[in-house]
């Protein structure tokens, strides 16, 4: 494996962001849970060593329910990352959260069905290691420090980011029915996406700081008239905002604390409990 020393921060996001890193090195990483979505792309950004991972793989060939989330988070930790930023596209569930809104959630609701969402599922690893049963607190699923940094970075680019809200994560790859979308809105939830879980939960089990940055690309099916959201609409709005999102993301990378200075609960989420296997 190429030199991965001093990697501090992981970024899970759309293909192409890594092209702006300096002196990019492509690294293939093996994990006990199989291969991650793609190679890791290592480089320097704002004086920080970053490992970037395309969530859906190059070419966007992996649908949300086929992503190997466990391998992705494990791979990032294995190269040294202890803080992770996870930008993603979402649908807005409220009229005020229209296309182009950046929302930094503080809660999520899991509506997925088939994803492997824990390292502590009681099944042996491929090498025969049997993990212990560990229950990790996820009352506040996102890193409070990372959220503050992301919001400050967004506002530095005159983006009035929404501070807090609930991301409901659905299985995909289909979009919501109109009834589902209206129900999510009635619960008071803010945005709907397909990839925010189990990323946050797995990051907590590995004692990683995880921060989600959600870009609203549509009003989901929540509008009571019209045709509902389309794939083309999502891609068009994301493309129109990707340059600004990239700048915000890069400023957030620069603003995160040194790994050794982390003082949030994420860094000690296991509380000394023995997971039964060695963390990377």
Which residues fall within 8 angstroms of residue 38, CB to CB, at 6 or more apart? 53, 54, 57, 58
Query: CA 255, 259, 263, 267: dihedral to nearest 10 degrees?
Result: 120
185 in a labelled binding site: no
Structure tokens belonging to residue 201? 């939960």
List C-alpha distances in Å: 279 to 50, 222, 265: 20, 42, 17
List C-alpha distances in Å: 235 to 63, 99, 217: 15, 11, 8
Annotated catalytic residue: which of 38, 127, 158, 220? 220
Query: CA 261, 54, 114, 189: dihedral to nearest 10 degrees?
Result: 70
How far apart CA 158 and CA 42 sit, in angstroms, is 29
177 in a labelled binding site: no
195 in a labelled binding site: yes
15 in a labelled binding site: yes
Active site residue 30: no
Annotated catalytic residue: which of 110, 140, 163, 218? 218
Active site residue 274: no
- Summarize the annotated binding site for substrate as residue ranges: 194, 218-220
- Catalogue the active-site residues: 218, 220
- Summarize the annotated binding site as residue ranges: 15, 55-56, 194-195, 218-220
- Summarize the annotated binding site for phosphate as residue ranges: 15, 55-56, 195
């Amino acid at each position: 494996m190429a030199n991965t020393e001093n990697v501090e921060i992981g970024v899970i996001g759309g293909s192409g962001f890594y092209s702006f890193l300096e002196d990019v090195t492509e690294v293939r990483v093996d994990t006990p849970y199989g291969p991650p979505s793609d190679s890791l792309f290592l480089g320097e950004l704002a004086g920080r060593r970053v490992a970037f991972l395309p969530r859906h793989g190059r070419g966007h060939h992996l649908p949300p329910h086929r992503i190997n989330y466990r391998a992705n988070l494990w791979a990032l930790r294995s190269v040294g990352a202890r803080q992770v930023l996870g930008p993603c596209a979402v649908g807005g569930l409220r009229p005020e959260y229209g296309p182009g809104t950046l929302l930094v959630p503080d809660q999520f609701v899991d509506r997925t069905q088939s994803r492997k969402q824990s390292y502590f599922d009681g099944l042996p690893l491929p090498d025969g290691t049997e993990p212990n049963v560990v229950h990790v607190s996820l009352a506040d699923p996102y890193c409070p420090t990372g959220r503050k940094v992301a919001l400050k970075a967004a506002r530095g680019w005159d983006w009035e980011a929404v501070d807090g809200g609930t991301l409901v994560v659905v299985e995909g790859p289909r979009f919501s029915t109109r009834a589902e979308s209206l129900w999510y809105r009635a619960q008071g939830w803010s945005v709907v996406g397909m990839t925010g879980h189990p990323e946050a939960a797995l990051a907590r089990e590995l004692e990683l700081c995880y921060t989600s940055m959600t870009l609203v690309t549509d009003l989901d099916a929540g509008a009571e008239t019209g045709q509902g959201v389309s794939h083309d609409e999502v891609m068009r709005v994301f493309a129109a905002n990707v340059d600004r999102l990239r700048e915000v993301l890069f400023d957030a990378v620069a603003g995160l604390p040194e790994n050794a200075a982390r003082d949030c609960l994420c860094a000690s989420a296991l509380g000394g409990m023995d997971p039964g296997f060695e963390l990377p």
